[in-house]
Amino acid sequence: MKLLLVLLSAYILTSCLAERLRFDNYRVYRVSPTKASQLKGLQTLEANNQDALVLNSLHLGPTDFLVSPSYDETFLKLLKDLNLSPELIDANAQASLSLDIEPIADANRRSDDYSWTEYHELNDTHRWMQNLVAKYPDIVSVFVAGQSYEGRELLGLKINHKNGRAEKQAIFLEAGMHAREWIGPATATYFAHELLTSQQPQIMSLARSYVWYILPHANPDGYVYTHKTNRMWRKTRSPQDKNCVGTDPNRNWDFHWREVGASSDPCSESYAGPKAFSEPEVESLSQYLRSLPEPMFMYLSLHSFSQLLLYPYGHTSTLPENHKQLEQIFNAAVGAMKRRYGTRYTGGNVYDAIYPAAGSSMDWVYGALNVKYSFCYELRPSGYSFWTGFRLPAAQIIPTGQETTDSLVEMIKAAAQIEGYKIE
């Protein structure tokens, strides 16, 4: 969500060989427009994804570009004309990208060989979820929240202990909205595993007190594409105008759609789509959320990166009515996040904590479904690192899962205390 990185690395699989699109001697510049006129001048570059790639959402403040060697002089002249002084972040993007190459997951892996020491392909996770139904038939079921443009299921886990408690509330956790953010789905499945296997009393109580819906891959087409073709793909895979592909699914929700922080350019990484709910993944997920049989207590969305915890809104700096309660829950959650490894999170409302960004799932659930507690995590790592930010090493999956579980436990406890809802 924070850095809208574009087409930095492509995997084209032919036979057993993978050939990557290279970015030798491409430079990364950071530019900080402070005037609307400067921002408008930079917008001419947004669709120029061959020579000057916009790495994060164009807004007043730091904006990053990946610039080809042949376009470097033209790019610097444009900045001079706009009275902007660039900061050189990286002089050779390819050298940095080459430091962090994820292996492609083994398609022949056994269906029961699933761990959190590596990132998994979509089919691996789907098989793992199906196996959990057989392993925990009285607790676990799978749900389908719709289909993608390419016909893949939005498959999720439902965890419901039949403990006799009347009128349980639901908590919905969604991940993988942006395809390249692999740590989100990995953390979602890690947390599901904790709900089913942990012997810690607080986690066991949490598992029993709510009906859990966990959707690891809200954008399955994009995720598959990151494994097969382009590791840095962000959007969906639906064809758009101007021979461009994909919509940003987290700008496509029908809540203040495309008012701010979203693009109308089909080639942009933050393209909001031709209309709200244009993407079948988003539209079908919204319908599924409306159809839940239980009242929704909380909605959680996992993204990366920046180590932020966010709450509504993205379209305005006006705080939501229950912002004091959201801040109270926020404080409990970020406090728990740093207990284990000292990982520090900041955040607040989206508009002020990152930048304006309308049309997200979190805002839609809060604004359209009136779910009082709606949050988005931007997981590890922190800071600016365009070549590794979306490629968190697999060795950090378990620590990220552990600290996020700590945070979720305290977050939900704090919200339940506000509501007077007793966790068993």
Catalytic residue annotation: 378
Output the CA torsion sign for 283, 288, 290, 295: negative
**Sheet containing 140-147, strands listed edge to edge, beginning at the edge strand earlier in sequence:** 140-147, 153-159, 210-215, 169-175, 296-304, 373-379, 308-311, 346-349
- Judged on CB neighbours under 10 Å (0-12, 13-18, 19+), 169 is middle
Conformation bin of residue 6: beta by default, left when phi > 0, alpha when psi is -120 to 50: beta
CB atoms < 10 A from the CB of 1, how many?
30
DSSP collapsed to 3 states, 252-271: CCCCCCCCCCCECCCCCCCE
Contact (CB, 8 A) for 283 and 154: no
Provide the b/e sequence for 298-310 (b: ≥16 CB within 10 Å).
bbbbbbbbbbbbb
Cα–Cα distance measured from residue 45 to residue 74, given in angstroms and rounded to the nearest whole number: 11
Token couple for 183: 């740590």
Conformation bin of residue 96: beta by default, left when phi > 0, alpha when psi is -120 to 50: alpha
Backbone angles phi, psi at 350, to 5 degrees: -55, -45
